[in-house]
């Protein structure tokens, strides 16, 4: 995937080949912020990405707060507590599952 074609896909970048930005030479290995990259004229930015002068990377994923814990019945009076992943390592009774689900993160 080529980041740089859509501004929302750019989280930052790293310089791979020397180039001039705002009259200053930018050395390989320099890290660029999203704002620095987006401040470049779009045609220049696309050329720098296409010619491998800079490698851009996507923004960091947004991490949601603690999720809602769900008590799931597995049959036979056994329960699991789920919050995106199963929290328990063994089948629980209803009371045990509800106690875990009630705990704050």
* Angstrom distance (rounded) from CA 66 to CA 32: 31
DSSP, res 67: P
Write 45-48 long-range contacts (CB < 8 A, 24+).
45/4, 46/4, 46/5, 48/19
**Residue 20: predicted pLDDT:** 94
Predicted confidence (pLDDT) per residue in 39-96, tens digit: 999 999 999 999 999 999 888 765 545 677 888 888 888 998 888 778 888 989 999 9
pLDDT over threshold 80, residue 6 = no
- CB-CB neighbours of 45 under 10 Å: 21
Res 1: pLDDT: 39
Q: Is the pTM of this model over 0.85?
A: no
Q: How far apart are CA 71 and CA 88, in angstroms?
A: 11
pLDDT at 4: 43
């Amino acid at each position: 995937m080529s980041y740089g074609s859509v501004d929302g896909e750019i989280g930052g970048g790293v310089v791979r080949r020397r180039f001039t930005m705002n009259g200053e030479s930018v050395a390989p290995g320099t890290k660029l912020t999203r704002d620095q990259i987006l401040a470049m004229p779009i045609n220049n930015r696309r050329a720098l990405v296409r010619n491998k002068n800079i490698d851009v990377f996507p923004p960091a994923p947004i991490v949601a707060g603690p999720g809602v814990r769900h008590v799931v019945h597995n049959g036979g009076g056994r329960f699991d507590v789920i919050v995106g992943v199963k929290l328990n390592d063994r089948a629980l009774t209803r009371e045990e599952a509800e106690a875990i689900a009630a705990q704050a993160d």
